[in-house]
């Protein structure tokens, strides 16, 4: 036991407190860093040294760092993020579909009614060319409205298809990054949590981001390497290797399907195996809600209008004695996309078949038959209904879907907030706490410095005795 040993103890204390202050500083610096897990120094008493009086303390040392990380919580957050991102994506696109179909902007129901009202107007004065011209204008307006809605929905569908490609690219980037981080974490060794902390934080954030895109299963091996699988068991990341997802065009629809690529470059379709996440929302929106949903609805509406009006119109007679002339251009498949007036009607309003008999071409029977369609129960998309009811059902449908998605998104958001709160409670940085610690370490540092001063004075005293 010597005065020098006091100096050694003071030195170890000053080093330890200085390192602690550095850790606190880093915590404070990362107070707003997403996914950051706070660290604490793991201070331990230095190994005791034997003296004549027994074992005595020999100062302090930093055994390592404590990383406040709750693995279960992080996994739960990642899983929750899968549902949250799916609902958020759904909300975004449902709101866009809603804005396209919204009656206030599209005026679809109004234009359909006004079109059939124009037939009534014409029936009141069948030979009036101004009323015939007005009917043509209303018909063109209706056709344009339906074409515009179709075009906007179709554009949205194509945008979603491109988004699918973008998401797949992002997934590949994330899995490659996770594999890269795995390599760094494994090379540092499982015992070096402090050194690997930054990589672990980044990897946890990437896993959360990946989970938002599609449902994945992940687990960590003893060396710290993370394995990530798709829900149908396809490996995306295994330690330092990553596998890619690819898109391939479906020849039937022309849209992208998703496939998993094995090491040999073979592709296995897994579009149907994606059950949740942003990618699932994009696929559902593209194929179900738009393709088989609202685009089909608007197409069915256009088909019924074209078919019903044309079948009656072709039985009637125009002012010029014409018959068997279609009012809307005949089309066999993409009714909404191609909806337009026939060339004859566009170029000469006398082709509008208002009369039902050649001997009575000033009559209005045929106009009345067509006008009555507005109140008729017709087969639209396989259901017997009226035009306005069908349109209001479509509006109600998009309203319900949007509202449900918003409610679910709000619910997921709230749940996520609670979990984030728990995570932050465990891993987040508190300025007050760090300042307290800072003061604690500062005082300890000052005290250790004081020890040196005391040891110095003791040395001086001894030196004085010797003079």
Partner 1 sequence: MRIADRFKYDLFMHQFSTVKGNLDRVQEQIAKQKRVLRPSDDPVAYSISVDLRAESVLYEQLERNILRVTTFGRVYDTTFSTMKDLLTAAKGIAINHATGSMDSALRENATNQVESIIEQLVSLGNTVVGDTYVFGGKRSNVAPFRLNPDYSVDFNVPEGSEGGNEIFVDRGDTAQYNISGREAFYDRSKTVYANPMNGYTGEVSLNTTDLAFVVDATNNTIYRNGTAITLTQGTYTGATLASEIQTRLNDVVPPGQVGYVVAYDASTRRFTIANNTINDVTLDWSDPGSTAGQMLGFNSFNSTLSANGGRDTSDMDTGKTSFSVEMSADGFSYNYSVDGGTTWSGPVAVNGGTYIDGSTVANTTNRGVRINFSSTENLGSSTFDIKDYSIFDMLKNLKVALEQDNSAWSSGNMAKIDDGLDIIRRNTAYVGTNLQTMDSLTEANNARQDRTAKIISETMDADLAQLATEYNNLSTVYQSLMYSFTKIQELGLLNFLK
Convert 292-309 to b/e letters by CB count within 10 Å (16 or more is b).
ebbbebbbbbbbbbbebb
Site for partner 1 (CB under 8 A): which residue of 299, 402, 409, 412? 402
Asked if residue 307 binds partner 1 (CB under 8 A), the reply is no
Closest CA to 298 of 92, 160, 108: 108
Q: Which two tokens stand for residue 376?
A: 């008729």
Q: Which is nearer to partner 1, 118 or 182 (CB)?
A: 118
- Could you say which residues in the range 49-68 bind partner 1, by CB under 8 A? none
Residue with tokens 């066999």: 332
Return the residue of 144, 184, 426, 440 that touches partner 1, per CB under 8 A. Answer: 426
Assigned token pair, 343? 């060339």
Reference 88, options 344, 305, 325, 409; nearest CA is 409
Residue 268 phi, psi dihedral angles, 5° rounding: -120, 125
Q: Which range binds partner 1 by CB under 8 A, 56-64, 277-285, 301-309, 430-438? A: 430-438
Which run of H or E residues covers position 464? helix 431-465
Q: Which stretch binds partner 1 (CB under 8 A): 52-60, 193-201, 213-221, 418-426?
A: 418-426
Any contact of residue 84 with partner 1 (CB under 8 A)? no
Would you count residue 375 as binding partner 1 (CB under 8 A)?
Answer: yes
Stretch that binds partner 1, among 132-140, 153-161, 269-277, 387-395 (CB under 8 A): 387-395
Cβ 424 to partner 1 shortest distance, Å: 4
Binding span for partner 1 by CB under 8 A among 155-163, 176-184, 268-276, 416-424:
416-424
Among 330, 389, 446, 453, binds partner 1 (CB under 8 A): 389
Tell me if 430 contacts partner 1 by CB under 8 A: yes
- Give kind and range of the element (H or E) at residue 232: none
Pairing state between β 49-51 and 241-242? unpaired
Q: How far is the CB of 213 from partner 1 (least distance, A)?
A: 22
* Stretch in the footprint of partner 1 (CB under 8 A) among 170-178, 266-274, 300-308, 431-439: 431-439
Q: Which CB, 49 or 358, lies closer to partner 1?
A: 358
Q: Which is nearer to partner 1, 375 or 461 (CB)?
A: 375
Q: For partner 1, which residue of 128, 154, 192, 227 counts as binding (CB under 8 A)? A: 128
Q: How far apart are CA 147 and CA 384, in angstroms?
A: 24
Nearer residue to partner 1 within complex by CB, 331 or 392: 392
Q: Tell me: does residue 435 bind partner 1 (CB under 8 A).
A: yes
- Do 236 and 228 form a contact (C-beta atoms < 8 A)? yes
| Distance from the first to the final alpha carbon of the chain | 23
CB of 100 to partner 1, least distance (A): 11
Q: Does 141 bind partner 1 (CB under 8 A)?
A: no
Q: How far is CA 363 from the centre of its chain?
A: 59
User: Residues near 174 by Cβ (< 8 Å), separated by ≥ 6?
Assistant: 206, 209, 210, 213
User: Which run of H or E residues covers position 147?
Assistant: helix 129-188
Least distance to partner 1, CB of residue 27, Å: 10
Instruction: For residue 225, give Cα distances in angstroms to 171, 185, 199.
Output: 18, 7, 11
CB of 129 to partner 1, least distance (A): 9
Query: Half-sphere exposure (CA, 13 Å, Cβ side) for 198?
Result: 7
Question: Which residues on adjacent β-strands are paired with residue 258?
Answer: 247
**Considering Cα of 166, then 168, then 169, then 174, what sign does the dihedral take?**
positive
Query: What character string, x for contact with partner 1 (CB under 8 A) and - otherwise, covers 88-117?
Result: ------xx--xx-xxxx----xx-xxx--x
Check residue 357 for interaction with partner 1 (CB under 8 A).
yes
Query: At its nearest, how many Å lie between partner 1 and the CB of residue 196?
Result: 22
Q: From the list 166, 219, 292, 403, which residue makes contact with partner 1 (rule: CB under 8 A)?
A: 403
**Which stretches of 14-121 are assigned E, i.e. beta strand?**
39-45, 49-51, 54-56, 60-67
Contact region with partner 1 (CB under 8 A), list: 44-52, 142-150, 217-225, 369-377: 369-377
Phi, psi (deg, nearest 5) at residue 31: -60, -30
Distances (CA, A) of 247 to 175, 180, 250, 271, 422: 16, 23, 9, 9, 38
Binding mask 248-287 for partner 1 (x = CB under 8 A): ----------------------------------------
Single out the residue of 5, 127, 227, 276 in contact with partner 1 (rule: CB under 8 A).
127
Query: Rounded to whole angstroms, how far apart are CA atoms 351 and 383?
Result: 32
Which residue in the set 4, 55, 63, 431 belongs to the binding site for partner 1 (CB under 8 A)?
Answer: 431
Q: Is 409 in the site for partner 1 (CB under 8 A)?
A: no
Adjacent-strand bridge partners of 325: none
For partner 1, the binding residues (CB under 8 A) are: 31-32, 94-95, 98-99, 101-104, 109-110, 112-114, 117, 120-121, 123-128, 315, 355, 357-364, 368, 371-372, 374-375, 387-389, 391-393, 395-400, 402-403, 406, 417, 420-421, 424-433, 435-436
């Amino acid at each position: 036991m010597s005065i020098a040993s006091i100096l050694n103890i003071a030195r170890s204390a000053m080093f330890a407190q200085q390192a602690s202050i550095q850790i606190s500083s880093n915590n404070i610096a990362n107070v707003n860093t997403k996914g950051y897990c706070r660290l604490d120094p793991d201070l331990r008493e230095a190994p005791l040294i034997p003296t004549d009086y027994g074992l005595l303390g020999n100062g302090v040392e930093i055994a390592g760092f404590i990383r406040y990380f709750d693995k279960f919580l992080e996994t739960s957050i990642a899983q929750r993020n899968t549902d949250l991102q799916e609902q958020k994506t759904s909300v975004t696109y449902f709101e866009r579909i809603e804005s396209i179909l919204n009656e206030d902007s599209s005026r679809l129901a109004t234009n359909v009614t006004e079109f059939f009202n124009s037939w009534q107007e014409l029936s009141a004065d069948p030979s009036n060319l101004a009323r015939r011209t007005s009917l043509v204008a209303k018909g063109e307006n209706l056709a344009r409205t339906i074409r515009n809605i179709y075009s906007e929905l179709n554009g949205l569908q194509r945008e979603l298809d491109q988004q699918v490609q973008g998401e797949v690219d992002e997934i590949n980037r994330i899995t490659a990054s996770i594999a890269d981080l795995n390599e760094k974490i494994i090379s540092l060794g499982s015992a070096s949590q402090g050194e690997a902390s930054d990589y672990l934080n980044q990897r946890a954030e990437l896993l959360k981001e990946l989970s938002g895109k599609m449902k994945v299963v992940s687990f960590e091996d003893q060396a710290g390497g993370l394995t990530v699988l798709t829900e149908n068991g396809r490996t995306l990341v295994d330690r330092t290797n990553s596998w890619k997802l690819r898109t391939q065009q479906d020849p039937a629809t022309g849209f992208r399907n998703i496939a998993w690529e094995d090491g040999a470059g073979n592709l296995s379709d897994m579009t149907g195996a994606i059950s949740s996440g942003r990618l699932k929302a994009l696929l559902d929106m593209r194929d179900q809600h738009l393709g088989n949903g609202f685009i089909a609805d608007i197409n069915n509406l256009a088909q019924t209008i074209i078919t019903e009006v044309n079948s009656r119109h072709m039985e009637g007679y125009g002012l010029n004695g014409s018959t068997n002339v279609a009012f809307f251009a005949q089309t066999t498949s993409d009714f909404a996309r191609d909806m337009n007036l026939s060339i004859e009607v566009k170029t000469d309003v006398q082709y509008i078949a208002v009369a039902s008999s050649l001997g009575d071409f000033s009559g209005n029977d045929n106009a009345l038959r067509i006008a009555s369609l507005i109140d008729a129960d017709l087969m639209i998309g396989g259901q017997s209904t009226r035009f306005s009811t069908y349109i209001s059902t479509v509006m109600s449908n998009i309203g319900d879907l949007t509202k449900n998605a918003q409610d679910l998104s709000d619910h997921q958001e709230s749940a996520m907030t609670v979990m984030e709160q728990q995570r932050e409670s465990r891993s987040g940085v508190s300025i007050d706490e760090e300042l307290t610690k800072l003061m604690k370490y500062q005082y300890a540092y000052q005290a250790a410095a004081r020890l040196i001063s005391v040891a110095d004075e003791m040395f001086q005293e001894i030196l004085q005795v010797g003079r």
